[in-house]
């Protein structure tokens, strides 16, 4: 408990900053829909003129932005990017922050098993990820209510947020594994970022095809597509894949961490 408490305290400030960012993204995004509706702008007509790759970059390939749910899908895409990046940073912090800050000689010479220390750190990070994902769900609904939108998007928001939660947990576990496996903590952080950029680019590549097929496997950001989620489908195979990958990465991370030489960066 002592480690969890310290981790919660240490990670509170970044959490507040990320939350402010998510709040701005959700409220500003949802407010845009109000403006577009008032001006009678047809975003679909505008977006049809753009090349598909540009739409893929901003997650607009299969969203009907004339409807609130479709418009929200675009915001949800960026929110997923946001929670994924936050999770990657939390994963790195949980697995490697002590070696980067050189405090490992303090913590890892205390009578606690390494696995228990890592569990406590991952547990604290998981609390923040879960809270962040709950807020990711609450903010658009609150914005919708505050802005007086008549359309009910509770189901869509719940599905998009559940998808974002799974994807963020996957990025989190990948980040933990990469940070643990890397001989040098900075290298681990770099690899986590490279992995996200790769996943993002692969997501764009997927979106440029009508049927990307197995390419989707390489981008967790496309495990749950807007088209599927807007039609109420939550991909069971990709959910299972996410859970499997999360479990495998976490187990491997613990295994490597148990035998890792802890040295300064």
Partner 1 sequence: MSAVIETKKLTKFYGKSRGIVDVDLSVNEGEIFGFIGPNGAGKSTAIRTLLGLIFKTSGEARIFGMDCERENERILQNVGYLPSEVFYYDRMKAIELLNYSASFYNKDCSKRIKELSAALELDLNKRVEDMSLGNKKKVGIVQGLLHSPRLIILDEPTSGLDPLMQKTFFELIRRENARGATVLFSSHILSEVQRICDRVAIIKDGRILETKRISELQENTYKKVSFTVKPEANVNDFSVPGGSKIEISGRSVSFIYKGDCNLLLSKIGKHPILNVDITEPSLEEIFMHYYEDGGRRE
| Residues touching partner 1, count (CB under 8 A) | 19
Write a three-state SS string for the chain.
CHHHHHHHHHCHHHHHHHHHHHHHHHHHHHHHHHHHHHHCCCHHHHHHCCCHHHHHHCCCCCCCCCCHHHHHHHHHHHHHHHHHHHHHHHHHHHHHHHHHCCCHHHHCCCCCCHHHHHHHHHHHHHHHHHHHHHHHHHHHHHHHHHCCCCCCCHHHHHHHHHHHHHHHHHHHHHHHHHHHHCCCHHHHHHHHHHHHHHHHHHHHHHHHCCCCHHHHHHCHHHCCCHHHHHCCCCCHHHHHHHHHHHHHHHHHHHHHHHCCCCCCC
233 part of the interface to partner 1, by CB under 8 A? no
255 part of the interface to partner 1, by CB under 8 A? no
151 part of the interface to partner 1, by CB under 8 A? no
16 part of the interface to partner 1, by CB under 8 A? no
Q: Which stretch binds partner 1 (CB under 8 A): 15-23, 37-45, 48-56, 102-110?
A: 102-110
Q: Which stretch binds partner 1 (CB under 8 A): 98-106, 120-128, 148-156, 202-210?
A: 98-106
CB of 129 to partner 1, least distance (A): 22
Q: Which stretch binds partner 1 (CB under 8 A): 27-35, 60-68, 97-105, 235-243?
A: 97-105
Q: Which is nearer to partner 1, 109 or 211 (CB)?
A: 109
Figure out which of the listed residues 20, 37, 41, 106 binds partner 1, where binding follows CB under 8 A. Answer: 106
17 part of the interface to partner 1, by CB under 8 A? no
262 part of the interface to partner 1, by CB under 8 A? yes
Q: Which stretch binds partner 1 (CB under 8 A): 122-130, 192-200, 218-226, 257-265?
A: 257-265
108 part of the interface to partner 1, by CB under 8 A? yes
């Amino acid at each position: 408990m002592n480690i969890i408490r310290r981790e919660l305290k240490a990670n509170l400030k970044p959490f507040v900053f990320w939350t402010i960012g998510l709040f701005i993204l959700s409220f500003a995004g949802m407010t845009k829909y109000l403006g577009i509706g008032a001006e009678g702008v047809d975003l679909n007509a505008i977006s049809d003129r753009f090349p598909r790759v540009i739409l893929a970059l901003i997650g607009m390939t299969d969203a009907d932005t004339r409807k609130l749910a479709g418009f929200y899908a675009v915001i949800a895409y960026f929110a997923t990017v946001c929670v994924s990046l936050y999770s990657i940073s939390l994963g790195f912090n949980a697995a490697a922050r002590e070696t980067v800050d050189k405090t490992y000689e303090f913590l890892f010479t205390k009578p606690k098993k390494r696995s228990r220390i890592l569990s406590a750190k991952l547990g604290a990070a998981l609390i923040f990820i879960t809270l962040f994902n709950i807020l990711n769900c609450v903010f658009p609904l609150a914005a919708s209510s505050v802005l007086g939108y008549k359309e009910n998007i509770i189901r869509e928001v719940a599905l998009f947020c559940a998808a974002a939660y799974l994807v963020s947990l996957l990025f989190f576990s990948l980040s933990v594994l990469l940070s643990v496996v890397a001989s040098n903590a900075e290298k681990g952080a770099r690899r986590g970022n490279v992995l996200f950029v790769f996943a993002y680019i692969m997501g764009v590549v997927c979106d440029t095809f009508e049927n990307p097929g197995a390419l989707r496997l390489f981008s967790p950001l496309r495990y749950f597509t807007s088209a599927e989620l807007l039609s109420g489908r939550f991909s069971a195979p990709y959910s299972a894949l996410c859970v499997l990958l999360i479990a495998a990465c976490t187990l491997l991370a613990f295994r490597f961490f148990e035998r890792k030489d802890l040295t300064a960066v």
